Structure 1
Amino acid sequence: MEGNTFDPDLIRAIFQLVWKRRAAEREKNERTETMEAEMGVGTSKKNRLTSANANALKLSCELLRLFVTEAIQRAATIAEAEGSNKIEATHLERILPQLLLDF
């Protein structure tokens, strides 16, 4: 079963990229707010390293695997109903709204 899931190192790298971008956005927003606010008012947030433990990464990998598997199955059902033996982007576009609501 381990071969049929996402690589935890890849998922960690994706998460870290997102966390870094959000931290940069927060820092930019804080600088803007600081410039607009009066001196000495408010407190600054500490920048801390965001991380995920091994169990959280395993769970994230499994959730992504289930999400992708379900998307493919639903798109295949639509493609089959249309008489196609190949899943195309339009099939994924049609199932995506309900899939996102279900997850």
Structure 2
Amino acid sequence: MENTFDPDLIHAIFKYVWRKRALEREKDEGAETTEVEVGAGTSKKHRPTSANANAVKLSCELLRVFVTEAIQRAATIAEAEGVNKIEATHLERILPQLLLDF
């Protein structure tokens, strides 16, 4: 199996972003940032976000493919310029088309 991102790391990043967005939503709504217990009567707005293990694995694979493709495209640009090292400018040049392709 090819190297991929650590699913625990990706899940931790997702949880960080979800927590940050939830706090921003609460701030925008003027609500207090208190802990809410999850129960049968909890509204959808206050339920914690979670991810299925298969969804996290799929996200890891998507990130691996995305990064691999970015490196290959940037290497092609660097090679065309006669440079042996990928620089930030090479990534900046391929990024718009890469984002459109994905």
- Please classify the TM superposition score into its range, dividing by the shorter chain length: 0.7 to 0.9
Structure 1 runs not aligned, ≥5 long? 33-43
Higher relative contact order (CA 8 A, sep 6+): 1
| Greater helix share, structure number | 1
Give every structure 1 segment of 4 or more consecutive aligned residues whose post-TM-superposition deviation is greater than 4 Å.
none
TM-score, structure 1 as length reference: 0.84
- CA RMSD across the alignment: 1.5
TM-score, structure 2 as length reference: 0.84
1 CA distance for matches of 2:100 and 2:81? 24
1:87 is aligned to 86
AA aligned to 2:82 is G
Offset of residue 29 of structure 1? 1.1
Q: Deviations over 1:41-95 (max 9, x none)?
A: xxx8631110101100000000000000000000000000000111010000000
AA aligned to 1:102 is D
Q: Give 1:1-103 correspondences, 5 Å limit.
A: 1=1, 4-31=3-30, 46-103=45-102
1 CA distance for matches of 2:13 and 2:66? 17
> Which of 1 and 2 has greater Rg?
1
Aligned residues: 91
